[in-house]
Amino acid sequence: MLSNMGAPAFVLVFNIVFLIVCVFIMYVVITKAVKKGINQSVVGKFIEKNYGVKGSKSDLDNDK
């Protein structure tokens, strides 16, 4: 399929894959930075101290 289209199709596919990989890496970095920032902030420490909330639980965690 791509062999009939030549170099422009390869460049397009490469750019799309590269964009997806970059967006995923940015998502991981931003997620980790926000979690670390909240946990080490004054407000995060206050919530841990007063309410005992250690980690975040999502709605999918049904372990009680």
Indicate whether 2 pLDDT > 60.
Answer: no
Is this model's pTM higher than 0.75 or not? Answer: no
Based on the number of CB atoms within 10 Å of its own CB, is 39 exposed (0-12), middle (13-18) or buried (19 or more)?
Answer: middle
For residue 22, the model assigns a pLDDT of 97
Do residues 2 and 9 touch, judged by C-beta distance below 8 A? yes
Of residues 51 and 18, more confidently modeled: 18
DSSP string of 6-60, one letter each residue: -HHHHHHHHHHHHHHHHHHHHHHHHHHHHHHHHHHSHHHHHHHHHH---S---TT
For residue 44, the model assigns a pLDDT of 80
Give the Å distances, CA to CA, from 5 to 8, 12, 42.
Answer: 7, 11, 57
For residue 59, the model assigns a pLDDT of 55
What does the pLDDT look like over 3-35, one tens digit per residue? Answer: 577 788 889 999 999 999 999 999 999 999 888
